[in-house]
Amino acid sequence: MKRLQFIIVCLLIISINSYAQHRILPEPVSANWGSGSFFINKQTTIVTTNNEEQKNLSALLNSYLQQAIGYPLPQANSRLAKNIIELQMDKQYDTTIGDEGYRLTVSPQKILIKANKASGLFYGIQTFVQLLPIEDLLSIKNKSTFKIPVVSITDYPRFAWRGLMLDVSRHFFTIQEIKKMIDEMVHYKFNLLHLHLTDDQGWRIEIKSLPELTKKGAWRVPRTGLWWDRQPPQPSEAATDGGFYTQEEIKELIKYAAEKKVQIMPEIDIPGHSLAAIASYPYLSCTKLNYQVNPGSKFYGVDDDALCAGNDSTYVFLEKVLSEIAALFPFQYIHIGGDECFKGFWKTCAVCQHCMKENNLKNENELQSFFIKRVEKILQSKGKKLMGWDEILEGGFAPEATVMSWRGMQGGIEAAEQKHHVVMSPTDYCYLDLYQGDPAAEPPTYSMLRLRDVYHFDPVPTAVDANLILGGQGNLWTESVPTFRHAEYMLWPRAFALAEVLWTAKEKLNLNDFIKRTEENLKILDRANVNHARSFYDAIIIPTKDAKGSLQLEFDTEIDGLEIYYSFDNTFPDQFSSHYNKADGKINIPKDAETLRVITFRQGKPIGKMITVPLADLEKRVKTD
Ligand code: ACM
Ligand code: ZN
């Protein structure tokens, strides 16, 4: 009898724990898994009130269900007792969950999503959809009931600013593509899309009072090769590559995003990165020369891509641009860039130098600060706040500016010390344009940011007032991202890691568990035709040199549970080839070997990409300093 009781208890524990492995991403603040299930069937009714926002959310939930399970549910505003999914707005403000939090309770009779605000209900709905078992979703043709595990979830975000940036200047993406990105990002509870709308390689937004910006500035000569290696525009060559958004299209996009609780922050990158504007209106630069929009060829320091900071007509231009931008975008912030401004032409410009003398500015950094402060005044006159990359700290900070820290966290730390707000998006954790796997097996880009490194991002440095850190953001620069499919490849799954560190309580972060949920969510992306990388399955090659300068190799993996096999003999390695144990340390490279091939397996099946790399290339990777 004792034995039977023991077995029953064991079975119960197993059944409860089997639900504990879920695919909710980001991980909720608390989830208490029970036993039993709620079954969705064709009679299950979505219950809500007549409130407009709630009715919209009910329709949204139904559209998600239609996509997921293949049929919509009846909706009602009366109180049914059983077989219901109820969306309920709290009558009294629930301070634990705040504006974006929610409580989601699944019992065998009903599912209840409660929140203070529509955005909380919206995130409760996202979590609810992630409770649908993936196996059921992958076989919906044969199914009409869908099992939801009993659970009680309380959830709210760690940070209010959970952003992704898309650079639409270096490559143009359509409104439809941006909407698809929004659709995906909200499943993972991002709430801000930063559009990098202008740069040297294209001006992407209609400014009605300055038509040349999109007549000329939105177009460049077509090129395909490696960025920075491309041929400059040739005389009389037609500029046919590019595009821009009309103000009507932007309005429609903002409305679409708002329905999904996403704010859109526009960036007009000034005073540097302005060649597309200068190509449109040559009076804007110090040299006033005629330039073409850059197609990805080297020009930095040669073509003058900075606005003349001493010329009043520059500020007249900016007043026009920022008036229209401020009227178009409801978000409180306008990002004005401020990064990487080449100041060489300011040094030799009589107008800039005169302006510096008149305003007692000691150097060009102070001229930049003078410029940013004038732009801040323009923004304030339109009821907007200024955000800029951390270079805006140089030469003195604009009084109310907020910093987006990209060259590491230091700019953000300095800004917070001066009591300014900060969004952290340091290159080493947040730059989604970097390699995510071995360069020999990835499309060419620069530097390295693996999935697990993103997961170790903490936007709040020690000894900084956490209240000043609004949150964090992943940035997808698109110099080497020519298509939207490739943008998706660069975003996912690294944006999963960002989503989790920006939402989930720090003490709940767990890399191994995150990887399990990532693998489940990649199946969901597959189902939705969203491209993604699987580079976290690939082997990591660690080349070093011994005291005599000979190449040595070690291997690693980003995740546990993978086997590494390799060859030096120009054959494809498989599970019968040389096997690498991490305890092996450095391996012997056979004499005269030229090429390494390495692949990972899991449970007897290949899972990582095969990486083929000449040993000469690995030698070059070893840092000699
Ligand atoms: C930047 O990456 N230049 C902000
Ligand atoms: Zn000048």
Give helix 175-187 / helix 118-130 axis angle, nearest 10°: 80
Catalytic residue among 136, 237, 340, 453: 340
The SS3 of residue 195 is strand
Q: Report CA-CA distances (Å) from 208 to 105, 214, 264.
A: 50, 9, 20
480 Cα to the center of ligand 1, angstroms:
15
CA–centroid distance, residue 375 to ligand 1 (Å): 19
Instruction: Tell me, yes or no, if 513 is annotated catalytic.
Output: no
340 is catalytic: yes
Q: At a CB cut-off of 8 Å and minimum separation 6, what does 189 contact?
A: 26, 123, 126, 157, 162, 499, 503
C-alpha to C-alpha distance for 384 and 253, rounded to whole angstroms: 20
Residue 277 · residue 210 · CB < 8 Å: no
Nearest residue by C-alpha to atom 2 in ligand 1 = 406
* pLDDT exceeds 60 at position 557: yes
* Amino acid (one-letter) located at 278: I
State which of 477, 478, 479, 480 you would mutate to test the pocket of ligand 1, scoring each by most atoms of that ligand within 8 A of its C-beta. 477
CATH number assigned to the domain covering 23-155: 3.30.379.10
Confidence of residue 3 (pLDDT cuts 50, 70, 90): low
Token pair, residue 227, equals 């960025």
87: left (phi over 0), alpha (psi -120 to 50) or beta: beta
For residue 558, the model assigns a pLDDT of: 97
Residue 17 pLDDT grade (very low, low, confident, very high; cuts 50, 70, 90): very low
The rounded Å distance from CA 387 to ligand 1 centre is 13
Q: Closest ligand to 272 CA?
A: 1
Closest CA to 604 of 578, 567, 565: 565
Give the number of the atom of ligand 1 that is nearest the alpha carbon of residue 431.
2
Ligand that comes closest to the CA of residue 194:
1
pLDDT of residue 137: 83
Domains 23-155 and 538-624 share a fold: no
Could you tell me the strand order of the sheet in which 75-76 lies? 30-40, 146-155, 102-106, 110-115, 84-89, 45-47, 75-76
List all residues whose CB is within 6 A of at least one atom of ligand 1: 339-340, 389, 406
135 or 296: whose pLDDT is higher? 296
Cα(205)–Cα(268) distance, integer angstroms: 10
pLDDT surpassing 70 at residue 356:
yes
Atom of ligand 1 nearest to the CA of 475: 2
- pLDDT greater than 90 at residue 19: no
Of all ligands present, the nearest one to the C-alpha of 473 is: 1
**Peptide bond preceding 493: is omega within 30 degrees of 0, i.e. cis?**
yes
**Cα 406 to ligand 1 centroid, rounded to whole Å:** 6
Higher model confidence: residue 396 or residue 142? 396
The band of 510, judged by pLDDT with boundaries at 50, 70 and 90, is: very high
Determine which residue's CA is closest to atom 3 belonging to ligand 1: 339
Distance set, CA 354 to CA 311, 357, 362, 500 (Å): 10, 5, 12, 50
The structure's pTM equals: 0.96
CATH number of 161-527: 3.20.20.80
**φ, ψ of residue 253 in degrees (nearest 5):** -65, -40
> Which ligand has the nearest atom to the CA of 404?
1
Which tens digits make up the pLDDT trace of 61-93? 999 999 889 999 999 987 778 999 999 999 999
Best of 200, 201, 340, 429 for a ligand 1 pocket test (most atoms within 8 Å of beta carbon)? 340
Mutate to test the pocket of ligand 1, among 305, 406, 447 (most ligand atoms within 8 A of CB): 406
pLDDT of residue 14: 45
Tokens of 142: 């044969």
CB 438 within 8 A of CB 486: no
* Cis peptide, bond prior to residue 271, ω within 30 of zero: yes
CA-proximal residue: ligand 1, atom 1 (nearest) = 339
Q: What is the pLDDT of residue 4?
A: 58
- The 10 Å Cβ neighbour count of residue 435 is 18
Vertex 522 angle, CA 519 and 524, to 5°: 120
Q: What is the mean pLDDT of residues 354-382?
A: 98
Give me the mean pLDDT over the 430-435 stretch.
98
Mean pLDDT of the region 382-407 = 96
Mean pLDDT of 258-283: 98
Q: SS3 sequence, 377-406?
A: HHHHHCCCEEEEEHHHHCCCCCCCCEEEEC
Residues composing the chain: 625
Of 95-104, 167-176, 576-585, the one with minimum mean pLDDT is 576-585
Q: What is the band of 389 on the pLDDT scale with cuts at 50, 70, 90?
A: very high
- Enumerate the β-bridge partners of residue 599: 565
Annotated catalytic residue: which of 27, 167, 184, 199? Answer: 199
Structure tokens of 494?
Answer: 């690294």
Q: Report the percent of the chain where pLDDT is more than 70.
A: 96
Q: What is the mean pLDDT of residues 510-531?
A: 97
**574-581 average pLDDT score:** 97
Q: Other CB atoms closer than 10 Å to residue 105's CB: what's the count?
A: 17
- Tell me the CA–centroid distance for residue 567 and ligand 2, in Å: 59
Q: In the prediction, which pLDDT does 464 show?
A: 95
Instruction: Compute, in angstroms, the gap from residue 2 CA to the centroid of ligand 1.
Output: 66
**CA-to-CA dists, residue 445 to 146, 230, 337, 442, 480, angstroms:** 43, 15, 22, 8, 6
Is the pLDDT at 16 greater than 50, yes or no? no
Residue 237's contacts (CB-CB under 8 Å, 6 or more residues apart) are 221
Q: Do the Cβ atoms of 434 and 448 come closer than 8 Å?
A: yes
Active-site residue flag, 273: yes
Identify the pLDDT of residue 20.
Answer: 61
Please tell me the CATH code under which domain 538-624 is placed: 2.60.40
Mutation to probe ligand 1, out of 165, 389, 393, 428 (largest number of atoms < 8 A from CB): 389
CA of 391 from ligand 1 middle (Å) equals 9
Rounded Cα distance, 543 and 256, in Å = 48
- pLDDT score at 18: 45
For residues 384-398, average pLDDT: 95
Domain parsing of the chain, residue ranges = 23-155, 161-527, 538-624
Cβ atoms of 446 and 479 within 8 Å: the answer is no
- Give the other-Cβ count within 10 Å of 140's Cβ: 16
DSSP state for residue 582 in the 8-state scheme: G
| Contacts of 222 by beta carbon, 8 Å cutoff, 6+ apart | 240, 241, 295
Residue 2: the pLDDT is 57
CA of 349 to the centre of ligand 2 (A): 5
Q: What percent of the chain has pLDDT over 90?
A: 90
pLDDT tens track for 122-168 = 999 999 999 998 888 888 777 889 999 999 999 999 999 999 999 99
> For position 364, what pLDDT does the model report?
97
Ligand nearest to the CA of 368: 2
**Distance in Å, CA 405 to ligand 2 centroid:** 27
Neighbours of ion ligand 2 (CB under 5 A): 286, 308, 310, 349, 351-352
pLDDT of the residue at 584: 87
* Strand-pair partners of 198: 203
Identify whether the C-beta of residue 510 lies closer than 8 Å to the C-beta of residue 201: no
Calculate the CA 386 to chain-centre distance: 21
pLDDT at residue 9 above 80? Answer: no
Three-state SS for 585?
A: coil
- Return the H-helix or E-strand segment holding 37: strand 30-40
pLDDT averaged over the chain? 95
Select which of 187, 194, 196, 273 is catalytic: 273
